[in-house]
A and B are shown apart, each in its own frame.
Chain A
């Protein structure tokens, strides 16, 4: 069964989410949001998906305080972050490029990252652009650090990084990414050419599994209509007949 890149990314991210109790999704995250919904549709063990920006039960949050307090208590199992820049130690920059504060490029700001990155056990990093301007040797501004000193309270942190070329796992002890698989049609050379930081490579590199028929059916029939509430433009683009 043919699938789109978006559907591959949704299925790939969902692999990290099956069986988790509470998955929360931040702003501007249609693909992670779809992955969270897929995990919930697929597995009864996922009890709650919270989507910032959703107006519909049961996905809407009772405000931001609710999300941050939940995370503070360890009641959020997975969350997603992206960044204008991400470096090899999984530092995330959502703030801007250049010398702070009068940066050459100013993005929105850190949002919840400087808190949630510390507290949510599985933070999945995701970016739709895999390039050297995104994956840099060192971020210009650490909106949220990838790793912390041992005495800093930190039950959470980076778990994996998914891009349109490949997926990495993050090793918090070694403070580096480990290549997990490369998507069909892409090569290690292409990943290296487009990644500004070093990463560990396994002896044999698997190809990312394509989404099964069952998964694609769930995405198209169950996930698409729900993600269309917070992300109408995304849903219309990916599944015009949803």
Chain B
């Protein structure tokens, strides 16, 4: 047995005020862990969304858990704008570090390689670059007259995500969400909630091994069935559209959001035996 298996409550306690937390966009989102962090009253997070965010960042921002959000966009997709994110940016309650999707990936990829910065095409002439003091333009050192943007590595304290399956050895099967490896490699620590924990070593299965995050990168695994609800987990369950719609409506005003948080900030009813 790997000592990284823990309860959701133990996992949530390892995530501290002020940390830089990296989360994946719209599947593999650890919603139940997010709800637990809200209840725990976590504060001043620097949230990095890869590369965009939906309900989890909106909810954490609305609940007052976030000081800075580094993102290429926060949106509830077809359910509309992310209202709590929008009002927090407007009022200046949170710092916003606007990026563009490949810039977030590139910054994390620099971190996973142990590099201080990374170049990226595009960006020059945009107000995205203009408003990022940490983004620079340099001359391509290998050719003449080729300005190129360079971005600092993004080095999160913690990566959190939800996956289908982990094993008792601490390996996590991430299926087709290959990019979760980038988050985990870039972050100092990784905490994962899963639908099931199996007894065999996933890395010993050739068909599964390539889509598995090695235990070396994993600091905590908690068994949390339906942990991505009301978002989806490919291969397990689809979006709970009515619950997301209800959230999208409630989040439009601070009052209804507060009520939602007090009454609806819970997971689906599940068997706990």
Contact across chains for A62 and B90 when beta carbons are under 8 A apart: no
Specify which of A55, A105, A113, A149 is in contact with B234 (CB 8 Å cutoff).
A55
A103 at the interface (CB under 8 A from B): yes
Q: Which of A11-19, A94-102, A125-133, A218-226 contacts B (4 or more CB under 8 A)?
A: A94-102
Asked if A64 meets B91 with Cβ closer than 8 Å, knowing A110-B73, A145-B125, the reply is no
A117 to B121 CA separation, bound complex (whole angstroms): 10
Q: With A28-B77, A64-B101, A65-B105 as given contacts, are A109 and B52 in contact (CB-CB < 8 Å)?
A: yes
Cα(A55)–Cα(B127), bound, Å? 33
CB within 8 Å: A-B pair count? 143
Contact with A along B68-111 (1 / 0, CB 8 A): 00011111011001100111011110001011111101000100
CB distance from A36 to the nearest CB of B (A): 18
Interface size class of B (residues with CB under 8 A): 35 or more
B259: min CB distance to chain A, Å: 23
- A153, B71: Cβ atoms closer than 8 Å: no
User: Number of residues in A with C-beta < 8 Å to the partner?
Assistant: 47
Distance of A60 Cα from B26 Cα, bound (Å)? 14
CB distance from B11 to the nearest CB of A (A): 25
Report the separation of the CA atoms of residues A109 and B26 in the bound assembly, to the nearest whole angstrom.
16
Contact present for A119 and B86 (CB under 8 Å): no
CA gap between A96 and B73 in the complex, in Å: 11
CB pair B78–A109 under 8 Å, yes or no, is: no
What are 16 inter-chain pairs, A to B, with CB distance below 8 A?
A27-B75, A27-B77, A64-B51, A72-B102, A95-B127, A101-B92, A102-B90, A105-B90, A106-B85, A107-B81, A112-B101, A114-B100, A114-B126, A118-B122, A143-B127, A152-B125
Give me the interface of A with B, judged by CB distance under 8 Å.
27-28, 53, 55, 60, 62-65, 68, 72, 94-96, 100-119, 141-145, 148-149, 151-153, 231, 233-234
